[in-house]
């Protein structure tokens, strides 16, 4: 099971955040995309069963998180993860 959680803030109004997406990719060519759902005021998340992805345990993944507001403006964060 993969659990993705992102804390999101908006400089003007938090309710202006329209969507949060997460992209995972690695050197083995494995790529996955997930759209996160708002869980409370700041937290967006998604829980995904591993067999429904093409992600593998024990590998490094580069991660791009992209938040978009209702005006089309985006902000992003790049990080990595090893499960």
| 7-20: pLDDT as tens digits | 988 777 767 889 99
**pTM, 2 dp:** 0.82
| Nearest residue to 59 via CA among 37, 81, 36, 43 | 81
Q: Is the pLDDT of residue 83 over 70?
A: no
All domains of the chain, ordered by start, with CATH? Answer: 2-82 (2.60.40.10)
Q: Which residues fall within 8 angstroms of residue 30, CB to CB, at 6 or more apart? A: 24, 54, 55, 56, 59, 61
């Amino acid at each position: 099971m993969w659990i993705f959680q992102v804390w999101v803030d908006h400089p003007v109004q938090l309710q202006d955040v329209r969507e949060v997406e997460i992209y995972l990719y690695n050197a083995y060519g494995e790529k996955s995309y997930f759209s996160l759902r708002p869980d409370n005021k700041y937290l967006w998340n998604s829980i995904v069963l591993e067999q429904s992805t093409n992600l593998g345990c024990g590998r490094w993944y580069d991660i791009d998180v992209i938040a978009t507001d209702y005006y089309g403006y985006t902000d992003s964060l790049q990080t990595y993860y090893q499960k």
